[in-house]
Structures are given as C-alpha cells and as structure tokens.
Structure 1
Amino acid sequence: MRDAVLNGTATQVDPGEETFAALESRHGLGLYVPRGITLTRGQGAYVWDADGRRYLDCTAAYGVASLGHCHPAVVAAISHQAATLIACSGSFGNDQRAQLYAELSTVLPAGLTRVFFCNSGAEANEAALKFARLTTGRTGVVAAMRGFHGRTAGALTATWEPKYREPFEPLLPGFNYIPYNDLAALEAAVTDDVGAVILEVIQGEGGVQPGTADFLQRAQRLCSDRGALLIVDEVQSGFGRTGTFFACESVGLQPDILTMAKGIASGFPMGAVALGERVVKLSPGQHGTTFGGAPLACAAARATLRILRAEQLPAQVAARGAWFLEQLRAIPSERIRDVRGRGFMIGVELTEPAAPYIAAAQARGLLVLNAGTQVIRLLPPLILTEADLAFAIGVLTEVLCSPSI
C-alpha cells in the first residue's frame, strides 16, 4: 500500500503499489542506515511520518533546521524570492547576495572580512583547503583524530575516521592527524611545510568532544608564528547552536578561515567560507561555483539571521542548553558514561552501543542521532521550549533506565 500525504494529513491510497520506503530502497544507493519511518511534514520542532505520527525532532535534520521546520519567516522569504529570481551567477551582482554579505559580516568573528558562498559544509572545507594552499604555497595540513570535515576528496582527507577514508585512498598527500587537545602533539606537528591546521571547536561526528581553550588558542598562535593558516570548521557548531553565534567566540579564537553551513539557512542547502586578512586576495577563476550564493539561498539565510538576532536565540540556547545538560547528567542510569557538549550540541556517551536506545527513543516519539557507536547525539532546533526539553529528558530517562532495552 502506497503512503500519501494530502493537505498535511497522512493517508494511504492505491493498494498494491509500493510504499515510499520501498521506492527509496529500489532506486536509492543504500548509503544511509534506514530509520524505519518516512517523514512527510515538519512544523517547528516537530515532524510527522507517513502514518501521521508526531516526533520531537532532536536531530534538526543533522543540525540544519536551526529555526525548526518551515519557520514562517523563512518560508515567506523563500516563497517571495522564488517568484522574483531563483538563480544568478556570481559574475552578476545580486541584491540578496550583497545584503547577506553585509548582514553576515556583523556576526562573524573579528577579522573575517570576505566571504565565499557555496552549497554545503564539505564544499566550504574544500575551498578552505585550496585557499590555504594558495596563500602559503605549502601542502601540509594538520587535522585532528576523530575530526570530521566532509566526504569530498579534500574534506575526506582531513577527516580522520579510517572507515570513511580507506576505501578511496590514495587521497591528498601531506595530511597529519594528531590527538585532539594534545598540546605536545600539536606543537610537534606544525612544521615549516604545514600550510593549514583544520580543527572543530567541538568535534561533532567524533563524539561531541569539546576542544580546550588552551589547545585551540595554541593552534592559533602556532599558525601565526609559523606561517600556517588556522581553519576553524563551524559547519555543525555555528549559528547559535552552542550558545554563541560561533563556537570559537567562547574560547577567544580569531581564525584565518572559518567554514560554515548547516544552520546558515534553516535547512536550505548552503555553505560559506569566511576569510581573514592573512588569506591571499583571490583572482577570477581560481575557485567558483554554479549554485553557490544564489538569490534563493541568500534570502533563506537572511531570514534566518534576522530571526536569530531578533529573538536572541543564541542566548536562549546558552541558558536552556545548560539546564538540558544538567538534567541529562542527573539521569540515574549506569549505562551513561559521560554527558558533554555546549548549548544544543550535546553527546551522551554510553557504556554500550547506542543504537538500541536511539530506536527505543524513536518508538516513544523522540528522534536523536548517534555520534560513533556509543554516543547519543542531540542537535535539536534552537527554538525548543522548556516543555520540549522536559519531554526529551523524560523519554531518555525512560529508555536509559529501562531494564528491558
């Protein structure tokens, strides 16, 4: 029986036809582990499946739905722009792009004055690595163990996890991986042939591991002293997720290059790279994109920035995230080894595989993610209310304390 959604209400029609899930299985590449439900609608912090069941979405579609699903201001901006001008090459000026440049400059960390728009976090990191090589003339890159920067060739090389890299090797030469937060290893790794150090302020896929201020600030000083550029990957942690507009603000970093995506446009595909004064001025043709910086994406990003600022969402996330962490740490379960993170970027590390508990939470109406084998990751929309947080705590307490899961 095939699923359908009419006027926002899930129905089933045409007995004998394949379900949405069957169609995806037949024609997709099987690159994702299926969660067993088909999502067909979203509003605010909630999504609905093809059977009409509601879930609190603490995945935010991997952190992109920063304002929740279908925020009215973003919907209005996209709808208006879609009827005005959808596509515009970077060879031509555009009103939406120009205004986004100006508005984004008011929230970027100090010293980041130029921006390149693209379509994803992986694209942003690819561009950052190219710009660093062009500037320094050096091919060496220092990255961190458990770091994740994307799955395209350069970004994949910077990603530590061997299971992602090894099937596609040889990748780019010159990359060295050091233990995260290891000052001695960092000091030894930044040699004269290193053009860039690329780090996350909080490792996302690596288990929601916060970097120490000492480690991150030392990386900045070493890059400055030894002629390398510091690339800070804020693809997952940016745009209010950790309680400040960018996570690097909380540790006093001023990166040479900052990459961003996910929450920048509330779910509309977009990425960006911000450059400081140590990065060489680029010339036409040295990099480019067909779709990056298109009016539709820029309109969505502008609406997102307006709401983030007008509603002071980063400050709300800082306060509610602290309470959320406190409540998670109070769950009386021997299965919990650690709870860590900042704002609404949280990892609950277990003493055993997380998959059964993620499935049990889903069965109770709560969607969460994993970060590796044993970490439950929470990346909820920034608009979660106290009631939403209480519901999430209740479900996680139930599943993590249940003797039968």
Structure 2
Amino acid sequence: MEFNKFKVSSLMDITARPDLVFLRGHGSWLEDDTGKKYLDFIQGWAVNCLGHSPKEVVNALSEQSRLLINPSPAFYNKPSVELATSLVDASCFDHVFFANSGAEANEGAIKLARKWGKVHKKGAYKIITMKDSFHGRTLATMSASGKPGWDSIFPPRMEGFIKAGLNDIESVKELIDDDVVAIMLEPVQGEAGVIPSDKKFMQDLRKIADLNNLLLIVDEVQTGMGRTGTLFAYQQYDIVPDIMTLGKGIGGGIPLSALLARDSVCVFSHGDQGGTYNGNPLCTAVGLSVLNAINNSNFMKSVVVNSDFLSQGLSNISDKYDMNGERGMGLLRALVLNSDDAPAIVELARNSGPTGLLLNAPRSNLLRFMPALNVSKDEISLMLEMLDNLISKILKR
C-alpha cells in the first residue's frame, strides 16, 4: 500500500492506521506529510507528558548522546543513578529497576511478586487483578489483564491470575487463599474507559493485603508522572503500595519505564532480572529531565487548574447533548456518550479540515482525553469548541 510518497506496506499490519504520515510535532500540535495540522489530545496514549518534541527531551537527548549512550547495564551510569535517586526521594519506594515499556515493567512486578512469594510465602504465586484491567501485551501481562476476550488469544494463557471487580472489596476477599501473593490494579482503569478506583476501596485493599501478608501493586503506567494531578496517583489515596510500575509519561516520548519497590520486597537474586537496554544513560537522562520538569509545584498546580477546566468543559457538553457525564482524574478524562458514536466522532475529528483533532475511543460510547500536561487553556477551549461542532454534525447525520 502506498500513499503520497510513502510505501507503508513494509510495516507489519498490527493495527488500523489512517492514511496519513506525521512528519513533525511541537507541543500539542502535529503536522502530517501534506502540511495539515492536528490538535493532539491523545499524545501517544498519555506518553508525551510535555507535548511533542519538548526542549527538555531534545536537550537531554542531544547532551547525553555526546557523552554516553549505553555502556551496558552491567555497569552503573550517572543518569540512571540520578533518576533512580530522584524517584525514590519523590515516592514511598526504596529501589528502582528501569525497563523499556510499561508491559516490561509489569512483567518485572509479576516476577518480583512471585519471587517474594517463593521466599516469604511458601511458594504463593497467584495475583488478584481486576476485571477489565489492562497491564500490557506480553503473554504474562495479557493474562494479568481483565480485558474481555483476551483469555482466548495465544493459548494457553499463563495461569495464576484471578479476577476481582474494581471497587468491589468483597469480590477481592472471596479470592484470597494460601496461594495468593499479591493484588495488582490500575488506580484508574484507562483502557476500560477511565474508571477511577474509589479511595475507600484502595485503602481497604491495603488493609486486606496487610492482614493476609500480600503485596499491593499499583500499575501507574498511565496514571503516573503527574497525569492525575499528583506525581503518582497512589498519593491521592493515602496508601503506601509495595510495588509500583511506571511507563508512558516517564520518558516523555522516549522508551522508558520503571519498576519501583520497597526494600522488604526486593528479593531478586543476581540474574533474575535484566535487559540489554535497561537503565541506559540516554533514556534515563531524558527521564530525569522529564521528572524535574513535572516535579515542580507550579507545574502541578497548572495541571490541576487545567484538569478542572477540561472537566467542566466536558460536563457542559454532556449536559448540552444529554449525555452520561464525564469522569477521570487530572488530565486523564472521559466523556461518556449516550450512543455508540465515539469511533465516528474520532474519524470525523481527524478528517475535518483545515485543522484536525486527534481523539481516542477505547469504547464505542466513550471518548478518552490525554493531552500534554502542559496543554494551554486556549488549546483546551479550542478542543472543546471543535468537539461541540463535531458532535452536532454527528447528531445531524
């Protein structure tokens, strides 16, 4: 398949992509090979927390690439030590392992929990995860996920993952036996439709974990790094998890993720965990620049202000068209429609001209919004105006 001057059939066909090729981006905007510009409220699925090609990332890449790119994870390097120290100082955790993707970080969390169960719980290995959850696309993280239909893909599925209902503490209690080692969940289920965990539910999970000698794992691949209005979402629940995973926003667009754990949980022996690119100085230098930008009181205040502004704007649209409201935490939000028009709205938004709008529909009746954390109020206003017009056009059809 070819369009314009690009032959795209050389790429493996693993998702439905529109017929456009992006050439450049800056902040909240992308530009394709025809020169058309798009207001981006997906940002790589919450990856580009500082927008496209932010100066922090560009400068870190440029400076570090002239110094050292990858000496091997068998040696210490300055950026990885500095980023690990900063993450530990900013959280309740003691140690960090760097990886390349959220799924890889979650694989590490699963391995660490099972190793801890082997050492401290007579080989306990089962992990309670949540229905409709999403933890990645590796074999283990697909088995851990509760996404409908995934239990029948790539059989046999990895055993040891049992599903409870989000915000249903009784369903968690019913699953606990001597073989259970941990409870793992997203503070906000992103792929399921931006469904936040209740504060009481999270606090009850911590109590149940303590009572039954279980680990509590929070998957903050999507919610971490300021996305929900605090540096980490768990901080809004007043709990102390045992393990946390980060991805997406931690690299600001560069492949980087992290597995963080409390000292008492860190039972890996040498050789249990590793990877060719893990903790390389190029990516961790970028991660440090992103963390320094986000972990600033004025920056986070702006995130909270813009979150409220976006939330109110989406609520106004919902009221205007008699929809089912909006929900979310921080700048991870969803508009719940009263129809299955979300995919049509996404397509119309992208194809509308002369300026396009990039939106995401994880469910047919729901739109998800993941703008850059430094999105401006004017850009939010423009998105809301465009969305209002799009919905009106869809309804007239």
Match of 1:309 among 286, 295, 298: 295
Match of 1:70 among 21, 29, 53: 53
Aligned letter for 1:348?
L
Render the CA deviation track for 1:256-306: whole Å, top value 9, x for unaligned: 000001000110000100001331432210111110100000110011112
User: Normalization by structure 2: what TM-score?
Assistant: 0.93
The aligned runs of 1:188-207 (5 Å cut-off) are: 188-207=174-193
The aligned runs of 1:317-332 (5 Å cut-off) are: 317-331=303-317, 332=319
CA contact 1:240–1:313 (8 Å) conserved in 2: no
Match of 1:128 among 103, 109, 121: 109
Is 1:95 aligned to residue 78 of structure 2? yes
Residue 360 of structure 2: aligned partner: 369
Is 1:394 aligned to residue 385 of structure 2? yes
Distance in 1 (CA, whole Å) between partners of 2:298 and 2:288 is 15
Distance in 1 (CA, whole Å) between partners of 2:21 and 2:245 is 31
CA contact 2:27–2:54 (8 Å) conserved in 1: yes
Structure 1 portions without partners, runs of 5+: 1-16
Is 1:297 aligned to residue 283 of structure 2? yes
Aligned letter for 2:182?
A
Render the CA deviation track for 1:306-361: whole Å, top value 9, x for unaligned: 21134732221112101211111111444622310011100112222210011122
Residue 182 of structure 1: aligned partner: 168
Distance in 2 (CA, whole Å) between partners of 1:38 and 1:311 is 37
Residue 151 of structure 1: aligned partner: 137
User: Normalization by structure 1: what TM-score?
Assistant: 0.92
CA contact 1:196–1:231 (8 Å) conserved in 2: yes
Render the CA deviation track for 1:159-184: whole Å, top value 9, x for unaligned: 11233331212121121111111121
Kindly tell me the number of residue pairs found equivalent between the two proteins. 386
Please give the secondary structure, in 2, of the residue aligned with 1:278.
helix
Q: CA deviation at 1:21?
A: 8.3
Aligned letter for 2:11?
G
CA contact 1:319–1:343 (8 Å) conserved in 2: no
Residue 115 of structure 1: aligned partner: 96
Please give the secondary structure, in 1, of the residue aligned with 2:325.
strand
Is 1:340 aligned to residue 327 of structure 2? yes
Aligned letter for 2:209?
C
Aligned letter for 1:19?
F
CA contact 2:115–2:267 (8 Å) conserved in 1: no
Distance in 2 (CA, whole Å) between partners of 1:254 and 1:343 is 20
Between the aligned residues of both structures, percent identity stands at: 31
Match of 1:215 among 156, 176, 201: 201
1:295 and 1:325, CA in 2 relative to 1: closer, same or farther beyond 3 A?
same
Aligned letter for 1:391?
L
CA contact 1:74–1:304 (8 Å) conserved in 2: yes
CA contact 2:129–2:145 (8 Å) conserved in 1: yes
CA contact 1:347–1:371 (8 Å) conserved in 2: no
Match of 1:60 among 23, 43, 58: 43
1:47 and 1:335, CA in 2 relative to 1: closer, same or farther beyond 3 A?
farther
Distance in 2 (CA, whole Å) between partners of 1:101 and 1:86 is 17
Aligned letter for 2:392?
C
Q: Which moved more, 1:210-219 or 1:166-175?
A: 166-175
CA contact 1:147–1:205 (8 Å) conserved in 2: yes
Distance in 1 (CA, whole Å) between partners of 2:98 and 2:82 is 13
Distance in 2 (CA, whole Å) between partners of 1:21 and 1:234 is 39
Structure 2 portions without partners, runs of 5+: 119-123
1:187 and 1:41, CA in 2 relative to 1: closer, same or farther beyond 3 A?
same
CA contact 2:3–2:19 (8 Å) conserved in 1: no
Q: CA deviation at 1:399?
A: 1.5
